[in-house]
Amino acid sequence: MKVDKMSLSFPAGLGEQIRDAARRAGMSASAWMAGAAREKLRSEQLRSALDDHQRAHGSFTAEELRAAERALGLGGGASDTA
């Protein structure tokens, strides 16, 4: 597998938290960070898609937000007060 080597710096303590999480997951810190990066990129893509949808169709209603929270198994979100 081809890799892109990088050198990263983290605030004090964060590196150890990453290493601990990777150990608990049974993977290398590099593999754990790659997974975290993939999740972050996917989250950014989803945010962009939702923003595009709202620009084209208007803001989500409180009812739509509650339905999304239910579908995702979330609760106690800000839309509960809307």
Closest CA to 14 of 26, 22, 5, 6: 22
- How do residues 9-47 score in pLDDT, each as one tens digit? 999 899 999 999 999 999 999 999 999 999 999 999 999
Percent of the chain whose pLDDT exceeds 70: 91
* Global confidence as pTM: 0.74
Confidence band for 82, pLDDT divided at 50, 70 and 90: very low
pLDDT recorded at residue 1: 84
Closest CA to 81 of 62, 54, 55: 62
Encoded amino acid at 62, one letter: A
pLDDT recorded at residue 76: 63
Rounded to whole angstroms, how far apart are CA atoms 40 and 68?
20
Please check whether residue 10 is in contact with residue 18, taking contact to mean a CB–CB distance below 8 angstroms.
yes
Please give the structure tokens belonging to residue 39: 């999740």
